[in-house]
Amino acid sequence: MKAQVEPATPGGMGRMMKPCELVRVMREFRARTLALVADLDDRQMIGPRLAIVNPPLWEIGHVAWFQEFWILRHLRKQRPLLANGDQLYNSTDVAHDTRWELLLPSRADTLRYMDEVIDRCIERIDHGTELSPDEFYFYSLATFHEGMHAEAVAYTRQTLGYPPPSLNEQKIDTPSGGGSCPGDVEIPGGSFMVGATPDFPFVFDNEKWAHEVEVQPFRIARAPVTNGEFLAFVEDGGYRRDHFWSADGWRWLETGGAPQLEKSFEKFFNRTMNEAPEVQDFTERLDHPVYWRRDGNGHWQQRVYNRYLPLNENLPVVHVSWYEAQAYCNWAGRRLPAEAEWEIAASAEPNSARDGYAGHRRHFPWGDEQPAPKHANLDWRSGGLVEVGAHPAGDSAFGCRQMIGNLWEWIADDFLPYPGFTMDPYKEYSKPWFGTHKVLRGGCWATSSLLIRNTWRNFYTPDRRDVWAGFRTCAR
């Protein structure tokens, strides 16, 4: 039964903010960026050369450059503040491998540059004049970009074994426990409009626009796969049985599950991790998730930043690649959800009178209310993951839990454009990655609640396991 879906009426960044609100958000985002690197020494601000991270010193300078480029230079037509800024920080032109060799400004000079950029950007809107649509777009673009890079700095700290960041947002209104959340929910088939609608003032180009998708009835897990569930796959030899793995996944597995790293990485890592000097040998074949190990008594532990902790079987499995998620599904007789299925499970409401979906489309799984601590693990409040049974107030209409927050969820689909796709001014955001990346949905504990929504599409290559990503499954 076809549903005539009405768009939601969101709040927060879902409406055009007044200048005073936008200034507050920009200041908050910048304070978080700076807090994420405040305790790092000069050696840690550069770090080892890895294919999956950036030098933190480069990353924070890039955030300011991006803001300057789109707001001061593109929107305001001002001259560059740094004569060589494009040669240092333009990620489109500066090859990733060269970012450790650049003659970057000192830490003090980088911080001064960041201050000057944001002060100039805010100066233009701080007088309270209403924003034009163009102004709102480019200010939002730069702000969203900074939020995404803050999350990247956080997983860089995890990758490099740095201590957890000290942020005021952590451990505020954070639920304890929650336990497991087993079982499936049944979703009816029908037609649904997947994608963003024009009533939302800012969305990225890969979310545009809502288009009708027909799905068959399906069953999807109430919660993401837990450590305990994934442990059964590990202990059953799942990493040693090739028939669970795709050809690409098995090749990835046999080469150690990561790009070749600099030989100095292990020495660097050992100097960094005082409490847990052992490090995964990335040249050896994997037989468990990257940050897992057994202690001397045979008990499983998981590295969280610079410490190994007992494996909590009720936490979602995290830092697993799309290949690992797919192999687990094959072992369990399950499958990853299609992108349309995930969005329907998060956004649709059942039709009580007949098959299919009701006419209202939810902006978030729980409804159209902006995310609050009761709904989802977002905004850095917890300092990390919570158990999959936490946040029942955030359940979708069908009973799926934690579809927003806690951890990103791998989707079966390749990252591809929606029908009628056209690039936004930031042309490099989506188009270069179509066909080579996989989709992730839902956000994680380090995602800002101002960014995330049911239509948000994240994307990484299927080998990536450094981000806070896990998955939920569907019945075959």
Q: Token pair for residue 63?
A: 């955030």
pLDDT at 279: 45
Beta partners for residue 213, in sequence order: 192
438 beta partners: 414, 460
pLDDT at 385: 97
CB 403 within 8 Å of CB 440:
no
Place of tokens 């905004």: 379
Give pLDDT tens digits along the chain (476 positions).
333 333 333 334 456 788 999 999 999 999 999 999 999 999 999 999 999 999 999 999 999 999 999 999 999 999 999 999 999 999 999 999 999 999 999 999 999 999 999 999 999 887 777 889 999 999 999 999 999 999 999 999 999 999 999 885 555 455 668 999 999 999 999 999 999 998 888 999 999 999 999 999 999 999 999 999 999 999 999 999 999 999 999 999 998 875 544 334 444 555 554 444 344 444 567 899 999 999 999 999 999 999 999 999 999 999 999 999 999 999 999 999 999 999 999 999 999 877 789 988 999 999 999 999 999 999 998 999 999 999 999 999 999 999 999 999 999 999 999 999 999 999 999 999 999 999 999 999 999 999 999 999 999 999 999 999 999 999 99
Q: What is the pLDDT of residue 8?
A: 32
CA dist 71 and 142 (Å) reads: 8
**DSSP state, 98?**
G
pLDDT of residue 175: 62
- The C-alpha torsion from 162 through 147 and 27 to 174, rounded to 10°, is -70
CATH 1.20.120.450-classified regions of the chain: 12-159
Q: What is the pLDDT of residue 230?
A: 98
Residues 348-382 as b/e (b if ≥16 CB within 10 A, e otherwise) read bbeeeeeebbbebbbbbbbeeeebebebbbbbbbb
Please report how many Cα atoms fall inside a 13 Å half-sphere around the Cα of residue 22, on the Cβ side.
29
3-state secondary structure of 475: strand
Question: Please, are residues 411 and 441 in contact by the beta-carbon 8 Å criterion?
Answer: yes
Name the H helices within 160-279.
227-235, 247-254, 265-272
The backbone torsions φ and ψ at residue 384, rounded to the nearest 5 degrees and listed phi first, read: 165, -160
Report the length, in residues, of the chain: 476
Neighbours of 225 (CB within 10 A): 24
In whole angstroms, how far apart are CA 107 and each of 37, 41, 53, 101, 159?
A: 10, 10, 18, 15, 22
Rounded CA-CA distance 442/382 in Å is 17
Buried b (16+ CB within 10 A) or exposed e, 296-305: eeeebbbbbb
Strand partners, 364: 367
Give the pLDDT of residue 359: 84
Q: List the structure tokens of 206.
A: 């890969």
Phi, psi at 379, each rounded to 5°: 60, 25
CATH code for the part of the protein at 12-159? 1.20.120.450
* Res 260: pLDDT: 40
